[in-house]
Structure 1
Amino acid sequence: MDILQKRLWSFVFLQGILIGNLVDSSALPSTANPVPVMTLVGSQVVLPCSWKDSQKEMAESGCHIQWMSPPYTVFEQLGEDKWQAAEYEGRVEVPLEKLNSGDCSLIIKDVQIGDTGRYESFIVVDGVRSQKSRVFIQSVKLSVTDHKSRKDLYPGDDLVLELYTPHSFAVVFQSRDSSEWVNLWKRGDENNERMEKHHQLEQLTIKNLQYSDEGIYKVLDEGDLSVSTMQLYITEKSPSSRIQEKQEQILTDAAATSSCSALLLSVLLSCYQILLLH
């Protein structure tokens, strides 16, 4: 079902729960400044809303709340009847227990770059002549940004690249010596000797790094929007660090040898004592 059909179903749904009455949309107050909310791709965010600030009492039939990202409806709920736009399918909710107590905050899960924008909440109440009246509650400005990071690794190390969200679709790479982007991975690719997608976590491991792997890695969603940007630097180990690693390995081997020797001596002493007893 495409977006146009979804919006048609939205219209049908709204007409149904409003029992055929027209909604009289109240104008937004000229002084209504949106509440700023910022978050990162893949996280969960709460858009604040309290209908008790606008409506002291609620009908026994339950609270009728509507969230819009003008001009489209994002989420609507009347009692246990709910509707959500296709782009937010399975990602938005207003908990019923909180809604009935006055908290109409919209929870958006697995936030995407495309969710950036202005959101407005309304409560639908009984108006004059059996019509419904829509009362403005809150305006929220949501800003979603991608993840940015830097990693310094050594040749032979493995790079664990966070994908952050199941909506991540591809990974592209730009080497330090080139201005072109190369496709490294896309969702659904088979694992290979150098690249492995974790079977549960949203992580991609690139194994046995070489100097040619130094550069910029970008994780993209299906709309080619950035989920994350990571700058990778491959650093040669200094002589002092190599010496330190060697010393640590020698101490580790010595400790293991000492432990084995102590165990062998303990066994021999136990055997000797047994012989003396006999």
Structure 2
Amino acid sequence: MSGAVLCFLLLLQLSASANPEELTVKPEQDVTLVCRALSDVPVILLEWNRRDLKDDGYVFFYRNQRAYENYQHPRYRGRVELRDPEVRHGDVSVVLKDVSVNDTGTYDCRVIIDGGHERRQLISLTVADSDPPAGQEGRNHGLVVGLSVAAGILVILLLISVSVYYIMYKRRNGPRENPSYKAPAAESTEVT
């Protein structure tokens, strides 16, 4: 992959993690809050927080390959578990069970893997009794547009890369003069 494409993908990842993913669910449902570590490297620490809970405890706390319920905020005890208890493929998503309007808020996933690398993901969860008001059905519209633009830019970069490669290939391997080919001799136009 070219350096420009790698830079673009890195910028896309950074912008995605800076803007919270928005989820809207109805009460009494279970919801998965998605978060991924960078790789299959062992997870050293996983903290799920809710920004407005301050220092009253975690939504979910995981260290040394196990969850610690005693560090959880009382509201979340017995209601949160890892989607994949074995944390395979960097999946540190949690399932929040039986949500209520009180669970509305911004959730912050912080994961540290072996080697000290840290990743954060924000999720804005709205628990509402009714469907969204008219005009707000597409709250993720900006994300869809952004991803569409990103896909378009990737396609353009791919086309440019292929075109440049084709041009360079043609220049290197372009038509060569055949040494066995001789141009026909010019006819003599002398008048006798």
TM-score under structure 1 length normalisation: 0.35
Higher strand content, 1 or 2: 1
Q: By percentage of residues, which structure has more helix?
A: 2
Larger RCO, structure (CA 8 Å, separation 6 or more): 2
